[in-house]
Amino acid sequence: MLPTFICDTYEVFINAKNCHDMLSTSMTTTPIQREIDRRRTFAIISHPDAGKTTLTEKLLLYGGAIHTAGAVKSKKAAKSATSDWMSIEKERGISVASSVMQFEYAGCRFNLLDTPGHNDFSEDTYRTLTAADCAVMLVDIAKGVEPQTIKLFQVCKTRGIPIVTFVNKMDRDGREPMEVLDEIENVLGIPTTPVNYPVGMGKQFRGVFDLASKKLFQFDKTASQGAKQAEAIEVDLHGSEVASWIGEAGQAELIESLELIQEAGNPFSMNAFLAGEISPVFFGSAMNNFGIGPFLEKFYQLCPAPRPRPTELGEHDPHASPFSGFVFKIQANMDPKHRDRIAFVRICSGKFERGMKALNTRSGRKISMDRSLNFFASERINIEEAYSGDILGLWDSGHLRIGDTISEKKDIKFVGMPTFSPEIFVRIRLADPMKRKQLMKGLEQLSDEGAVQLLNHYDKSRVEPILGAVGWLQIEVVKHRLQAEYNVNAEIERLPYQEARWIFGEGFDPKNIVRPGSVACLRDLEDRPLILFDNKWTRFRVEEKLKDGFDFVAAVQPGRKQ
């Protein structure tokens, strides 16, 4: 007997030809509800260099959004596409900003949220995850579970986001697949259920065995080097072709591993998966497209349609008729020639129509949404309509903030978008004092994006701006963008503080705790006091001193006042 991957709920999906077949089994009746139920919005999370941008590109290839894939730095493929569009991303070969890509597959509309992998940009990733209904966790077969993967997994777990795992780089020699599965379970504390299993590794990696259909698919190595979809043919697991491919000993070991999964593996449950309690696992190589097709064929069946979202008044139904959504990202200067500012909105209910009006429930300001955009990396397309689950780009003149709710009903306000306390602090000085106006405009826009936190002195007579960031690379990016986008040459002076906490309570007076070089007090853009400490021991002492009358927090929700 070979292993099975079956549960009652999953049987419905495994027999469906596409998203439309799945929808036909539901009680959905209206056209709007059908459009909502075919949406799939997900993010890719990983440690840096696990292949996240490459996987993004290959999903676009298989989804038909692009026709030829090329490596990030390739100049040969004129039609290649990458989610990295900022100049510093192209120069360094890293992702430093989240981007949004769309593609269609099997009747489903996918919104793919590509996020920075570098730890210094984790706050941008945290915010982007609030817009996702599912996450793909990318794991390097050689390196296994890495530190940034652990952090992002915990964010998904806390938010109840279901996680699908893709073990990447099977075209390179690495750990045994069983060892990686055990590590995921032991380190992350989540049971795994392999959907397929690799056949071979490194130069011998040529295929995957599908545990549901009990079919082995061999991928054809072509001269396209991953630029085109990999052709797959079905071969006999017990046949001589597999033996010649991985050797008789390798063939016997493979069959033994599959039998072990059947006997001791975790049974799949769709309900457990949607609750974030089990992770289906796929194996493949994003670089040469091996395993991408089988992954996408199952993923569209696993990734959930839009689900209810938390508001101050309880859960909000995605099928509710009023349009609503929240801002999870703001990006300035995607087109540097026009100094534009785009607010990325996750639609949470209803239907969007170009030109409709809605309310910013924080400010009470009416918004006319006649400049609406869809994105393909840095390219933009005017959009006439969108539905719950979609990601919408709205041109913004500066009135929207991250965390804002936009709705046709004033009593809707989505929650769950915290700001995290920074760990690195710098003072900004100008090489040319005549550039102060450009400097402040740039810093305010970059702060609105969430690229960095702009802070002010508690003593308002001091005017030099202070920046707070999670990692030093954020500061480097801000300096680069000030020069490239605002023509401002800024000098950076690092301050001797390592931790910060917002403080809430009546009668706070910074004079009682401020010690130059040890404890400082600033204000954020909402005028809330933020206490800086030179180390955690200083923070412990101050918190102990003020524990009876004040509350210290490391993350704060928008709108919370002193």
Query: Which structure tokens are listed for 290?
Result: 């091996």
Q: Where do the domains of the chain lie?
A: 8-302, 327-407, 419-556
* DSSP designation for 461: T
Q: What is the pLDDT of residue 85?
A: 45
**Bridge-based pairing state of the strands 519-523 and 385-387:** unpaired
Distance from C-alpha of 77 to C-alpha of 100, rounded to nearest angstrom: 21
The answer to whether residues 305 and 222 touch, using CB atoms and an 8 Å cutoff, is no
Distance from C-alpha of 446 to C-alpha of 429, rounded to nearest angstrom: 17
pTM of the complete model beyond 0.85: no
The one-letter amino acid at 60? L
The one-letter amino acid at 42? F
Place of tokens 């730095």: 73
Q: What is the pLDDT of residue 77?
A: 39
Residues 6+ apart with CB under 8 A from 263: none
Right CATH for 327-407 from 3.40.190.10, 3.50.50.60, 3.30.1950.10, 2.40.30.10: 2.40.30.10
Q: What is the CA radius of gyration of the chain?
A: 25
How far lies 381's CA from each of 128, 374, 375, 480, in Å? 21, 5, 6, 28
Q: What is the pLDDT of residue 526?
A: 86
Q: What is the pLDDT of residue 80?
A: 40
Residues of the chain with pLDDT under 50: 1-14, 71-85, 93-98, 223
Domain made up of 8-302: CATH architecture: 3-Layer(aba) Sandwich (3.40)
Domain made up of 419-556: CATH architecture: 2-Layer Sandwich (3.30)
**Alpha helices for 239-379 (secondary structure H):** 240-264, 270-274, 292-302
3-class state of residue 140 by DSSP: strand
Q: What is the pLDDT of residue 172?
A: 94
